[in-house]
Amino acid sequence: MNTTLKIVKYQLHDVIRSKWLIFYTIFFFLIAEGLFRFSGDSSKVVISLMNITLIIIPLVSIIYGTIYVYNSREFIELMLSQPIDRRALYVSMYVGLAFPLAAGFSIGVGIPFLITGFHEPGALSIIITLLASGILLTLVFTAIAFFVANLTEERIKGFGFAILIWFFFAVLYDGILLMVTYSFGEYPIERPIIILSMLNSIDLARILLMLQLDISALMGYTGAVFRNFFGSNTGIAVSFASLAVWVAVPFALGMWRFVRKDF
């Protein structure tokens, strides 16, 4: 077994037993189950779940990820005094946290769907898209958390920076987009809007879901632009590819920093 897998095995043992992860899984289970009981229609449940997912997953992933790296500081030193490559440790820490978080969300949301919502036509593709966006957002924001926590030694600074990043992408960004659309409405701004949407992973995840659900009324301006510009299928592919870049770039930056850092 290679070094990364060996460490991942023990990281998983550690994270899976964390009461926070169990709480996170139960939280999604209760929300999804509750929504099914009130609504019963998969599409409506997905839309409500989507709004929760787009806020909660980035927030939990970035905060939990930052705390996790800071709390592992002494353990990282111990690991790095063993004959292992820094890259292997970084990858295993990332996988050891991001995978259980993604699994917690998938299990919490997936079980109510399996029990209640699976009989409806098209439910499978909807739930797969919801799970995929949730998993990708977990990977993106855990990668950002790892980068931020390796950037500065001061916990308070790192933690504040992490929350600021979440606030910017989850709350402020939509306002900025709206302002841009409003101010430059008379110009052909489709392309700049598409680029601006791609620069926000939360927006991408939302567009991905909206295109899959194909509900024009809820698509919003960016969703509609995406569909008109790419068509639904290409739009979905472009969103997926952009989200993959969103995982890869912060992950690579974090690793670059980790390899060069003094512990």
**Helix, strand or coil, per DSSP, at residue 221:** helix
Residue from 23, 34, 38, 73 touching another protein (CB under 8 A): that is: 73
Residue (83 or 188) nearer to another protein, CB = 83
- Residue 14 in the binding site for another protein (CB under 8 A): yes
CA–CA gap between residue 28 and residue 106 (Å, rounded)? 9
Least Cβ distance, residue 244 to another protein (angstroms): 29
CA separation for the pair 23, 46 (Å, rounded): 21
- CB 12, CB 99: distance < 8 Å: yes
78 contributes a contact to another protein by CB under 8 A: yes
- The smaller minimum CB distance to another protein, of residues 13 and 157, is found at 13
Contacts from 172-181 at CB under 8 Å and sequence distance 24+? 173/200, 173/202, 173/203, 174/203, 177/203, 177/221, 177/222, 181/221
Give the C-alpha separation, 254 to 152, whole Å: 11
Site stretch for another protein (CB under 8 A), options 22-30, 81-89, 112-120, 206-214? 81-89
Radius of gyration of the chain (CA): 19
CA neighbor of 244 nearest in space, from 232, 234, 252: 252
Which residue number, 82 or 121, has a Cβ lying nearer to another protein? 82
- Can residue 256 be called a binding residue for another protein (CB under 8 A)? no
The answer to whether 3 contacts another protein (rule: CB under 8 A) is yes
Query: Judged by CB under 8 A, how many residues of this single chain contact another protein?
Result: 28
Q: Is 254 exposed, middle or buried (0-12, 13-18, 19+ CB in 10 A)?
A: buried
CB-nearer residue toward another protein: 23 or 263: 263
* 75 forms part of the interface with another protein (CB under 8 A): yes
Instruction: For the CB of residue 235, give the shortest distance to another protein in the complex, in Å.
Output: 42
Q: Is 198 exposed, middle or buried (0-12, 13-18, 19+ CB in 10 A)?
A: buried
Burial of 136 (0-12, 13-18, 19+ CB in 10 A): buried
154 part of the interface to another protein, by CB under 8 A: no
Cβ of residue 195: shortest distance to another protein, in angstroms? 37
Question: Is residue 11 a contact point for another protein (CB under 8 A)?
Answer: yes
Q: 4 near 92, Cβ under 8 Å?
A: yes
Binding segment for another protein among 38-46, 66-74, 105-113, 157-165 (CB under 8 A)? 66-74
User: Among the candidate windows 127-135, 158-166, 208-216, 255-263, which touches another protein by CB under 8 A?
Assistant: 255-263
Among 25, 53, 61, 72, binds another protein (CB under 8 A): 72
Of residues 15-34, which lie at the interface with another protein (CB under 8 A)? 15, 17-18
262 contributes a contact to another protein by CB under 8 A: yes
Ramachandran sector of residue 99 (left: φ over 0; alpha: ψ -120 to 50; beta: rest): alpha
Contact positions toward another protein, by CB under 8 A? 1, 3, 6-7, 10-11, 13-15, 17-18, 72-75, 77-86, 260, 262-263
